[in-house]
């Protein structure tokens, strides 16, 4: 970089002392303070990211106190500061500067964040008793202007930031796509991070490139992709590799490089990680305290509610809620407790899925459809309607190799399975070629005994 050149008030041309240093950085603090006092809020925040000296000046309490008073005093004629002993309109410059560095900046941002979420609380109050989620959560997410980004970090530390291309919402999850014409080489990547991003100020008054804050939702290690991922499916162009929980890497069949990234995030997980901002913390469930099941401990556990959805992000194949599920103590086997949701012996419980299960993908110039795979969302509530377990993950159908069971259907037997340390899902289906339908003839949930004991204060 060439030696920096700057101009001072006298009009003389000045060479900066060090190579690569801009002349404005060598200006006295008082001059920088005066310049920064004329900046608007977004410019002031951006300037603070330039250097350490700019950050210190952009955090000055006097600048932010003036912004705070100017903005909020015009909103309310009888405005008074929150704490009279901290600040009043008659505060001198000395007393304002006595506050910790960045105090008035934080106060201003906190106040603006509260204004931007005004009315969101009313959307989040009604709770869906089947999912344990606010009934209008999708509307709240859109009203807050929440988006998501992917950060790909190379082994040498270089980062690549990709903004969300599109998003689809189901009953309990969000399916996010990142498409790009240029991806970094997959072999050079070390970490993939997914962030939830919210505008710092009211979305309706903020430009798309305005200041934003982000929350880390998930982090994946890409150094040993073949060992840490699972092959889900593919077509002639792309193969899908699943990184648990809930993210798909679409790679070109020819050279194995990235084509598209798809994530399926459960709304319960998003709320727990404060994707919607700190002001929604009042809607988080309180810390769980184990409750003893004293109805009939020898009989088993009662009153589970299960909501399950099969979808591909764009359309839903199956969505159902199952109530008053229970299990017997003798159903505990191999460290897992089994709960029957749809029984193979009761044909009245069997349900249908029309059409083939498939997963669509698209880049900026190509698109395709991968057969026999989809996304599964499972939400399980306990008897007190508190969240007990939630799953949101890609799954693939495979041939069912269980011992032969007499069904009233003649067709190809298939199964869908999901497993994590806390639980498992096993679904059996039969494909009827003439009707072009799947019949769900068996659906079983498995919960780890360790999780059961911790949740219900039992000793199974």
Q: What is the DSSP letter of 134?
A: B
Checking if the pLDDT of 191 tops 90, the result is yes
Q: Is the peptide bond before 245 cis (omega within 30 degrees of 0)?
A: yes
Checking if the pLDDT of 234 tops 50, the result is yes
At 360, which helix (H) or strand (E)? strand 358-362
Query: 5-14, 69-78, 343-352, 404-413: lowest mean pLDDT where?
Result: 5-14
* Cβ density class 415-452: b for 16+ within 10 Å, e for less: ebebeeebbbbbbbbbbeeeeebbbbbbbbbbbbbebb
Name the phi and psi angles at 459, rounded to 5: -140, 50
Model pLDDT, residue 455: 84
Task: Give 266's strand partners.
Answer: 173
> pTM for this structure?
0.76
Checking if the pLDDT of 282 tops 70, the result is no
- Judge whether 174 and 167 are in contact, CB under 8 Å: yes
- The pLDDT > 90 percentage for the chain reads 26
Model pLDDT, residue 209: 64
Rounded Cα distance between 352 and 346, Å, is: 14
Model pLDDT, residue 283: 42
- For the chain, domains (ranges, CATH) are 5-116 (1.20.1280), 137-281 (no CATH), 290-456 (no CATH)
Strands (DSSP E) found in 283-335: 304-311, 316-325, 332-333
Rounded Cα distance between 289 and 156, Å, is: 45
Rounded to whole angstroms, what are the CA distances from 271 to 140, 196, 245, 281? 12, 11, 16, 8
Task: Give 278's strand partners.
Answer: none
Span 130-189, pLDDT tens digits: 888 888 888 888 888 888 999 999 999 999 999 988 899 888 899 999 998 889 999 999
Checking if the pLDDT of 375 tops 70, the result is yes
Rounded Cα distance between 319 and 21, Å, is: 60
Query: 327-331, 409-413, 420-424, 433-437: lowest mean pLDDT where?
Result: 327-331
Count, residues in the chain: 460
Average pLDDT, the chain: 79
Rounded to whole angstroms, what are the CA distances from 263 to 80, 165, 189, 372, 425? 46, 12, 18, 18, 20
Rounded Cα distance between 48 and 35, Å, is: 13
Greater confidence, 30 or 275? 30
Task: Give start and end residues of each alpha helix (H) in 29-170.
Answer: 29-36, 41-47, 52-58, 61-73, 93-97, 103-116, 120-124, 137-144
Checking if the pLDDT of 273 tops 80, the result is no
User: Average pLDDT of 221-245?
Assistant: 89
């Amino acid at each position: 970089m060439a030696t920096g050149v700057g101009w001072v008030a006298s009009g003389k041309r000045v060479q900066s002392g060090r190579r690569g240093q801009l002349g404005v950085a060598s200006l006295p603090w008082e001059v920088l303070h005066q310049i920064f006092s004329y900046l608007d809020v977004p410019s002031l925040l951006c300037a603070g990211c330039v250097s350490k000296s700019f950050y210190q000046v952009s955090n000055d309490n006097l600048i932010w106190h003036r912004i705070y008073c100017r903005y909020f005093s015009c909103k309310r004629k009888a405005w008074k500061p929150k704490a009279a002993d901290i600040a009043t309109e008659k505060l001198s410059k000395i007393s304002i500067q006595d506050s910790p560095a960045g105090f008035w900046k934080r106060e201003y941002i906190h106040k603006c964040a509260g204004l931007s979420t005004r009315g969101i609380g009313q959307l989040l109050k009604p709770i869906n008793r089947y999912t344990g989620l606010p009934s209008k959560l999708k509307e709240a997410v859109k009203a807050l202007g929440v988006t998501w980004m992917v950060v790909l970090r190379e082994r040498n530390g270089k980062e690549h930031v990709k903004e969300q291309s599109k998003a689809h919402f189901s009953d309990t999850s969000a399916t996010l796509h990142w498409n790009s014409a240029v991806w970094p080489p997959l072999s050079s990547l070390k970490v993939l991070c997914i962030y939830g991003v919210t505008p710092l100020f009211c979305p309706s008054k903020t430009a798309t490139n305005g200041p934003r804050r982000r929350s880390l939702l998930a982090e994946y290690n890409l150094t040993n992709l073949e060992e840490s991922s699972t092959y889900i499916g593919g077509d002639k162009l792309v193969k899908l590799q699943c990184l648990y929980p809930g993210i798909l890497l679409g790679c070109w069949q020819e050279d194995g490089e990235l084509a598209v990234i798809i994530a399926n995030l459960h709304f319960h997980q998003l709320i727990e990680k404060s994707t919607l901002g700190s002001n929604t913390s009042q809607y988080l469930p309180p810390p769980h305290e184990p409750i003893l099941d004293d109805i009939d401990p020898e009989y088993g556990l009662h009153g589970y509610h299960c909501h399950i959805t099969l979808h591909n992000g764009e359309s839903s194949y199956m969505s159902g809620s199952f109530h008053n599920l229970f299990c017997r103590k003798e159903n505990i086997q191999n460290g897992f407790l089994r709960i029957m949701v749809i029984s193979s012996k009761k044909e009245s419980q069997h349900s249908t899925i029309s059409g083939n299960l498939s997963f669509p993908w698209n880049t900026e110039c190509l698109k395709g459809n991968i057969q026999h795979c989809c996304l599964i969302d499972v939400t399980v509530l306990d008897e007190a309607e508190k969240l007990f377990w939630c799953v949101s993950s890609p799954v693939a159908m495979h041939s069912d190799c269980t011992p032969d069971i007499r069904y009233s259907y003649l067709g190809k037997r298939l199964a869908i399975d999901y497993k994590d340390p806390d639980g498992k899902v096993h679904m059996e289906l039969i494909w009827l070629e003439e009707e072009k339908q799947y019949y769900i003839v068996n659906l079983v949930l498995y919960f780890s005994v360790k999780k059961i004991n911790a949740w219900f204060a039992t000793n199974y």
